[in-house]
């Protein structure tokens, strides 16, 4: 089962991130991105063990960079940090509450954008979000609203996977 | 080894973070296309993205086509309504044009002749079996009097029989009660034009010896004092020579289609000229 996890996760993440990218382009014309992959990382921080979660967040970040990023590794770094933050903070939070999921997701999206901004500012010496702060806030709110649904889907998916295993 | 086991998690996390940073530095220094894993991911992701993009594009196109069709339907409704309005307008213009044509003909007729006319609009028709009359919108207040000849270019169509203040009745030449003196224009053969209902008119009392042919024009003779001489009455359609009778049976058709009359002219100066 664990082996299948490490084989299938990258493929499913590619599918997820491609869908996320395409749907974002279709509905928002690139103005905002649906941060479903980040919500999955937060879900992993709340529910998976450290090894699987680090793997998932690293791979998810890397694929995000490959599909739409400029500097490969930047999103991986940020996603792993967010996973670790989710993982350790989940000890102190009631992760079953919807408002907790939503507010934590909003904070994580803002944190991710802030980290990426810092990352790009340091490496490229440019402010890549210049004038797009409204979009960042909109993105965080959308992600916050989507998070409970994504959590529910992930939860159901987990149930199906564990029920079908021999 | 002991240290690795004890700090396995921390080492793993540090390794992953270092790997991420190494990708960053490698990408910045040598270019992102040098990273092999990125190529692999792109190779896998591109077909998926292409298929998804194609599917979404197809759905969007279908949706847009549907929206377009709804728009077309709305536009079609509007255009049909517009066509109806334009047809009504065009019909009004066509009617105006035709009326202008008729009035021009009347005006030309009036200018060519030395008579004085009063133009009137036909507001009623009685073309039944018993009588063939018209009702016009001019009466004694317009100077009309009973017995005045009524014309529709190019010829005579009848005379006024009943005149009220604002309306008058015209007895058509094709009415069986109508009589007038007429001559064949070509050879001045005289006869009496009598109404024959649906058959038009008959030129009566023309002896069998007279030369009257199909296509001859019949005009008013001026005898009797009602109609001035020389007004066109009709054209000979048929001439029958009966073995037993004294006279020819001559069928005359009026020049004007009396069922389609809309404007007529009443000859108001005819009486003065005759006298």
Q: What is the pLDDT of residues B85-137, one digit of tens each?
A: 898 888 889 888 888 887 887 777 777 777 788 888 888 877 665 568 888 88
**CB interface of B with A, residues 21-80, below 8 Å:** 21-28, 32, 35, 37-38, 41-42, 44-45, 48-49, 52-53, 56, 60
The encoded tokens of residue A119 equal 């990352």
**Which carries the bigger pLDDT value, residue A64 or residue B225?**
A64
Instruction: Give the model's pLDDT for residue B3.
Output: 65
Distant-in-sequence, close-in-space partners of A28: CB < 8 Å, separation ≥ 6: A34
Nearest partner of A39 among A131, A103, A135, judged by Cα: A103
pLDDT band at B274 (very low <50, low <70, confident <90, very high): very low
Compute the nearest-CA separation of B29 from chain A (Å): 11
Find tokens 């019949």 and name the residue: B218
pLDDT band at A128 (very low <50, low <70, confident <90, very high): low
Find tokens 């896998």 and name the residue: B44
The CA-based diameter of chain A, rounded to the nearest angstrom, is: 53
Cβ of residue A76 closer than 8 Å to a chain B Cβ: yes
Nearest partner of B173 among B212, B134, B137, judged by Cα: B134
Q: What angle do CA A136, A139, A144 make, to 5 degrees?
A: 130
Find tokens 């009631």 and name the residue: A94
Task: Give the whole-angstrom CA distance, residue B255 versus residue B260.
Answer: 12
B20 chain-A contacts, CB cut-off 8 A: 58, 61-62, 73-74, 76-77, 80
Q: How many CB pairs under 8 A join A and B?
A: 90
Task: Give the whole-angstrom CA distance, residue B122 versus residue B157.
Answer: 13
Compute the nearest-CA separation of A68 from chain B (Å): 10
Per the CB < 8 Å rule, is B52 touching A67? no
Task: Give the whole-angstrom CA distance, residue B224 versus residue B204.
Answer: 16
Q: What is the pLDDT of residues A51-61, one digit of tens each?
A: 888 889 999 98
Q: A116, A71 in Cβ contact below 8 A?
A: no
Percent of chain A at pLDDT above 90? 19
* pTM beyond cutoff 0.80: no
């Amino acid at each position: 089962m664990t082996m299948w996890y490490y084989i299938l996760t990258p493929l499913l993440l590619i599918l997820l991130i491609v869908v996320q990218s395409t749907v974002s382009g279709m509905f928002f014309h690139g103005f905002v991105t649906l941060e479903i992959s980040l919500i999955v990382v937060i879900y992993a921080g709340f529910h998976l063990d450290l090894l699987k979660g680090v793997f998932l967040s690293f791979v998810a970040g890397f694929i995000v960079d490959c599909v739409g990023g400029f500097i490969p590794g930047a999103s991986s770094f940020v996603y792993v940090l967010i996973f670790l933050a989710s993982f350790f903070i989940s000890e102190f939070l009631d992760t079953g509450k919807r408002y907790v999921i939503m507010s934590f997701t909003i904070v994580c999206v803002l944190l991710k954008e802030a980290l990426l901004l810092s990352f790009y500012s340091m490496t490229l010496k440019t402010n890549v979000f210049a004038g797009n702060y409204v979009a960042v806030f909109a993105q965080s709110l959308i992600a916050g609203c989507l998070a409970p649904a994504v959590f529910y889907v992930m939860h159901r998916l987990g149930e199906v996977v564990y029920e079908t295993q021999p | 080894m002991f240290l690795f086991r004890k700090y396995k998690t921390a080492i793993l996390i540090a390794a992953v973070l270092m790997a991420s940073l190494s990708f960053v530095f490698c990408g910045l220094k040598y270019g992102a296309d040098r990273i092999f894993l990125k190529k692999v991911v792109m190779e896998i992701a591109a077909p998926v993205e292409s298929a998804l993009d194609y599917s979404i594009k197809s759905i969007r196109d279908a949706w847009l086509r549907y929206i377009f069709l709804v728009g077309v339907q709305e536009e079609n409704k509007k255009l049909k309504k517009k066509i109806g309005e334009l047809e009504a307008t065009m019909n009004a213009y066509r009617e105006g044009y035709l009326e202008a044509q008729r009035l021009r003909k009347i005006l030309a007729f009036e200018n060519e002749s030395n008579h004085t006319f009063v133009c009137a609009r036909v507001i009623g028709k009685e073309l039944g079996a018993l009588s063939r009359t018209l009702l016009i919108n001019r009466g004694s207040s317009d100077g009309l009097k009973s017995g005045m000849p009524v014309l529709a270019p190019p010829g005579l169509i009848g005379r006024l029989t009943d005149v009220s203040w604002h309306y008058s009745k015209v007895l058509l030449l094709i009415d069986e009660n109508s009589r007038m003196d007429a001559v064949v224009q070509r050879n001045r053969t005289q006869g009496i034009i009598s109404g024959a209902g649906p058959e038009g008119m008959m030129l009566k009392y023309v002896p069998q010896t007279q030369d009257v042919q199909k296509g001859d024009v019949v005009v008013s003779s001026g005898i009797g004092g009602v109609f001035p001489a020389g007004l066109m009455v009709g054209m000979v359609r048929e001439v029958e020579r009966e073995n037993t009778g004294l006279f020819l049976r001559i069928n005359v058709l009026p020049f004007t289609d009396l069922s389609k009359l809309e404007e007529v002219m009443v000859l108001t100066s005819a009486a003065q000229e005759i006298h």
